[in-house]
């Protein structure tokens, strides 16, 4: 009788171990398919669920570029198509060589840099600083914009018109 209980106990232990192994194997995630012979397997087809394309907007092509002020040829502005996702605006920078400031003197996204956006005929610039990112707003009304010319003024100073030529 003692032998019989030992055999039943061993058989029961083997069956429980087999069930545990089966459950463990069944609930393991399937490994990613490995590319074979340089072939890339597309694990995210465009018609599959959960596919998302992050669309980054483009800046206005009549604004993006390097500009030189016509009245002060040493004053430059550059409007980039570089999108800042945090503020949902584009980057730009300006400097005035008549004030002994060269483009090389500007720290990346510091003094002289600004974020910009265009809404209708309004151009908004938010200047940054070296020490901290506290935006300082400057707003302009665009009077004329083409591939080689940009003319705008500040709403508070309508008689002061800024004219720039693309370089």
Assessment of whether the complete model's pTM goes beyond 0.85: no
Each residue of 29-86: pLDDT tens digit? 766 656 556 666 666 666 666 555 668 899 999 999 999 999 999 999 999 999 999 9
Where are the chain's structural domains? 65-166
Token pair listed for 43? 């694990």
Each residue of 82-122: pLDDT tens digit? 999 999 999 999 999 999 999 999 999 999 999 999 999 99
pLDDT at 27: 80
- The verdict on domain 65-166 having CATH code 2.40.128 is yes
Integer angstrom CA distances of residue 159 from 69, 94, 141, 153, 154: 16, 22, 12, 8, 9
Cβ atoms < 10 Å from Cβ of 115 = 23
Strand extents, DSSP E, 45-121:
65-69, 75-84, 89-96, 113-119
Count CA within 13 A, CB hemisphere, residue 166: 12
Cβ atoms < 10 Å from Cβ of 37 = 4
Look-up of token digits 């990346």: 108
């Amino acid at each position: 009788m003692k032998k019989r209980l030992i055999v039943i106990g061993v058989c029961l232990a083997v069956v429980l171990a087999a069930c545990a192994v089966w459950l463990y194997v069944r609930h393991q995630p399937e490994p990613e398919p490995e590319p074979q012979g340089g072939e890339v397997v597309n694990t995210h087809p465009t018609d599959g669920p959960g596919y998302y394309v992050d669309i980054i907007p483009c800046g206005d092509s009549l604004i993006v570029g390097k500009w030189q002020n016509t009245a002060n040829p040493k004053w430059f502005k550059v409007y980039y198509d570089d999108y800042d996702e945090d503020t949902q605006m584009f980057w730009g920078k300006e400097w005035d060589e008549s004030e002994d400031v060269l483009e090389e003197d500007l720290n990346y996204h510091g003094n002289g840099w600004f974020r910009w956006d265009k809404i209708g005929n309004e151009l908004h610039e938010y200047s940054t600083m070296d020490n901290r990112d506290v935006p300082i707003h400057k707003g302009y009304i665009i009077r004329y914009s083409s591939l080689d010319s940009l003319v705008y003024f500040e709403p508070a100073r309508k008689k002061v018109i800024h004219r720039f030529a693309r370089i």
